[in-house]
Amino acid sequence: MNAVKNPPKISIIFPIFNGEHFLSRNLDSIKRLINLNEIELILIDNNSKDSSIEIINSYTNSINIKIIKNRINQGFVRACNLGVLISKGKYVFITNQDVIFPSDFFVELLKIYNRFEKKGNLVISPSLIFENDGIHYYGAKIHILGFSYTPEIGKGLPKQKIIKKTQRFSGGTLFIQRNTFLKMGGFDKRFFMYYEDTDLSLRFLRKGIVMYTTSYPYLIHQKHELTFNDFRYFLLERNRYIVFCKNIDGFKKLIPIFLITEILLIFQSILMRKFRIRIRIYYELLHNLKSFKELRRESKKQIPLIPYQNLSRTLDVALLGNLKKNTMFLKLLKIYNSLLKLI
């Protein structure tokens, strides 16, 4: 083991689940980090059935690795929260098993953090690019109904070094002080995965914590998969309602927008052959309506909800998934966005 003589400065944390196709390149890149002696790596295995553990064990002589083995798949949220709890670093960096780190990643990241730290608590979420295929994350906007998206997705990352504020960090590139993450309660375990970063980002905004993204340093994402299978579609849509319920003020004023949006989403679900999943989502929402009302009341008591006027009113084409090239739906989206400007 490449032991860290002093307590680590940074704890890299990410869940593992059947990651044998990604882990070797991921761990090779961590092994080449310039300040590896300041880093511990905490991996939470969510009951992988492939050779992930064997691959990880082959790196324990060169990287300071802690492995937690879950008997069941506890999802991204619970795994990351557990990783932060046992971490020893002043800073934690939460990411995924399928990323590649440039060797100077944390050297550059710490320079930026130290530059802005005197302004108070902050979060840095460096950009994430698809391998040979443009931006995955470079800052994100949050819609008044809880949708979240990266407007520049698929475009080229700027060549110059840019640091800019963002409304949402990415769960794949979260750099934060460990104590700040814990004081905020970490990720909400209701989410399992998807939209947990949007929820925590809104809580940061409500608390006055500033989030930044960077064009450099950046991470490389090995996997380019943005399709909507049934499980992903269900979690994305259901979790969005939880995000709104917990964080965004002005529900009564937004009822017309809600109704217009739901009509659009029902039409989208029919085109995507997800209508049955959408009905299941509505059933779950209605069945748990009392719990949602209580959740909203409790969240209001903790921190004032964010005014919807502070968020985006535009539904971006990036949210359409496989319907990006559907001319009819693009026209409907254009009409929808025009109507939202009038409300």
Arithmetic mean of pLDDT, 84-104 = 96
pLDDT, tens only, 259-300: 988 988 898 889 889 999 999 999 999 999 999 999 999 999
Q: How do residues 28-41 score in pLDDT, each as one tens digit? A: 999 999 999 999 99
Backbone angles phi, psi at 198, to 5 degrees: -65, -45
Task: Evaluate if residue 325 carries a pLDDT over 90.
Answer: no
pLDDT, residue 133, reads 74
Assigned superfamily of 10-221: Spore Coat Polysaccharide Biosynthesis Protein SpsA; Chain A (3.90.550.10)
Q: Which helix (H) or strand (E) holds 11?
A: strand 10-16
Q: Which residue has the higher pLDDT, 328 or 203?
A: 203
Question: Which of the four pLDDT bands, split at 50, 70 and 90, describes residue 313?
Answer: confident
Position 3 pLDDT exceeds 50: no
Q: What local confidence, expressed as pLDDT, does residue 335 receive?
A: 83
| Confidence (pTM) | 0.92
Half-sphere exposure at residue 3, Cβ-oriented, CA atoms within 13 angstroms: 2
Beta strands in 101-215 (DSSP E): 122-124, 127-130, 135-137, 141-142, 148-149, 163-165, 174-177, 210-214
Mean pLDDT value across residues 316-321 = 66
Domain boundaries, the chain: 10-221, 230-342
Closest of 236, 245, 221 to residue 294, by C-alpha:
245
Contact (CB, 8 A) for 184 and 166: no
Share the mean pLDDT of the chain. 90
Does 165 have pLDDT greater than 90? Answer: yes
Cα–Cα distance, 139 to 99 (Å, whole number) = 17
Percentage with pLDDT > 70 across the chain: 94
Provide the pLDDT for residue 257. 87
**Beta carbons of 249 and 310 less than 8 angstroms apart:** no
Taking residues 175-203, report their average pLDDT: 94
Question: Nearest-CA neighbor of 125 among 153, 94, 156?
Answer: 94
Do residues 281 and 234 touch, judged by C-beta distance below 8 A?
A: yes
How far is residue 89's CA from residue 289's CA, in Å, rounded to a whole number? 40
Q: What are phi and psi of 258, to 5 degrees?
A: -55, -50
Nearest 5°: CA angle at 116, between 113 and 121? 85
